[in-house]
Amino acid sequence: MKVVITYGTFDLFHVGHIRLLKRLQSLGDKLVVGLSTDEFNRKKGKQSFFSYNERSEILRSCKYVDDVFPEENWDQKKDDILKYKANIFAMGDDWKGKFDELNDICEVVYLPRTKEISTTEIKRKLSTIKGDDLDKIENSLHTVIEIVKSLK
């Protein structure tokens, strides 16, 4: 069985994430995802809109993802590759070259990102929305999570 491992925050889950996960899954038989915890995001100076538990639930509901585990620090990747017996370590090409040292234990692949959409761009656009409209959007996003939960 060929196992693919990847990592990310996967906040404000969007079609770019789906396309990436689909491509990653096509590289092997099983896709495992290391999902940045809220604490790890804080250490990186990032704040997720959705909590780790919510993002994990969204990822677990995606048909391309076989397993989700917490990413708690930068240094765990080698141990995770060995633990999950990963054959391929794959990341978006914005990380190109940053994980080449893992080539000694598995194949390292960098895939192109979906250029038309990104969580950063979504957050930038949302930051221009004011007051009641922002509350409506937040409520809608949480409703989407509840719908996704019900699809299991």
Kindly report, residue by residue over 72-84, the tens digit of the pLDDT: 999 999 999 999 9
Long-range contacts of 101-105 (CB under 8 A, 24+ apart): 102/77, 102/78, 105/78, 105/81
Least confident of 12-21, 92-101, 102-111: 12-21
Pairing verdict, β 88-92 and 107-111: parallel
Sheet holding 67-71, edge to edge: 67-71, 30-36, 3-8, 88-92, 107-111
pLDDT of residue 21: 93
DSSP state of 117: -
CB neighbourhood size of 126 (10 A): 15
Q: What is the pLDDT of residues 11-60, one digit of tens each?
A: 877 788 888 899 999 999 999 999 999 999 999 998 888 999 999 999 99
Is 46 a catalytic site residue?
A: yes
pLDDT of residue 142: 73
pLDDT of residue 37: 98
Mean pLDDT of 84-88: 99
Domain range summary for the chain, segments of one domain joined by +: 3-114, 118-151
Higher pLDDT: 50 or 85? It is: 85
pTM, entire model:
0.78
Average pLDDT of the chain to the nearest whole number: 87
- Does pLDDT of 99 surpass 90? yes
Cα 67 vs. chain centroid, distance in angstroms?
Answer: 12
Question: Which one from 43, 46, 83, 149 is the annotated catalytic residue?
Answer: 46
Query: Which residues are within 8 A (CB) of 64 and not within 5 positions of it... i.e. 6 or more apart?
Result: 18, 21, 22, 24, 25, 31
CATH number of the structural domain 3-114: 3.40.50.620
Question: Which one from 43, 44, 85, 96 is the annotated catalytic residue?
Answer: 44
